[in-house]
Amino acid sequence: MKLDSKSRKVGLYEALKTRILTLEMRPGEDLDETALSEEFSLSRTPLREVFRQLAGEGYVDLRENRGARVSEMSHTTLRDFFLTAPMIYGAVLRLAAKNARPDQIEELKAAQAHFRDVLRAGTGAERALANNRFHDITGDMADNVYLTPSFQRLLIDHARISVTFYRPTDNSMAQNVSEAADQHDQIIDAIEAGNENRAAELAEDHWALSRDQIEVFVMPHGLDIPLGDLPRKTPA
Please enumerate in sequence order all residues whose Cβ is within 8 A of that of 145, keeping only pairs 6 or more positions apart, or say none.
none
Name the residue with higher pLDDT: 26 or 232.
26
- Measured CA to CA in angstroms, residue 229 lies from 149, 191, 221 at distances of 21, 25, 16
Mean pLDDT of 33-58: 94
Mean pLDDT of 1-30: 89
Q: Are residues 64 and 81 in the same domain?
A: no
Instruction: Identify the three-state secondary structure at position 186.
Output: helix
Rounded distance between C-alpha atoms, residue 122 and residue 128, angstroms: 10
**Domain extent at residue 40:** 5-70
Domain boundary among 23, 40, 70: 70
Q: Is residue 60 part of a domain?
A: yes
Domain boundary among 27, 52, 70: 70
Q: Is residue 226 part of a domain?
A: no
Q: Are residues 43 and 109 in the same domain?
A: no
Write down the pLDDT at residue 174: 59
pLDDT band of residue 217 (cuts 50, 70, 90) is low
Rounded distance between C-alpha atoms, residue 169 and residue 174, angstroms: 9
Write down the pLDDT at residue 223: 42
Name the residue with higher pLDDT: 231 or 23.
23
Rounded distance between C-alpha atoms, residue 74 and residue 214, angstroms: 15
Domain boundary among 42, 70, 98: 70
Write down the pLDDT at residue 43: 92
Q: Are residues 42 and 112 in the same domain?
A: no
Please enumerate in sequence order all residues whose Cβ is within 8 A of that of 157, keeping only pairs 6 or more positions apart, or say none.
73, 77, 78, 81
Could you read off the pLDDT of 77-116 as tens digits, one per residue? 888 888 899 999 999 999 999 999 999 999 999 999 999 9
Could you read off the pLDDT of 112-167 as tens digits, one per residue? 999 999 988 888 899 999 999 999 999 999 999 999 999 999 999 999 988 876 76
Rounded distance between C-alpha atoms, residue 91 and residue 84, angstroms: 11
Contact 137, 111 (CB under 8 A): yes
With a cut of 90, say whether residue 51 has pLDDT above it: yes
pTM for the predicted model, two decimal places: 0.83
Count the helix, strand and coil residues of the chain and give each as a percent rounded to the nearest 5: 70, 5, 25
Could you read off the pLDDT of 192-209 as tens digits, one per residue? 999 999 999 999 999 888
The pLDDT mean for the chain works out to: 86
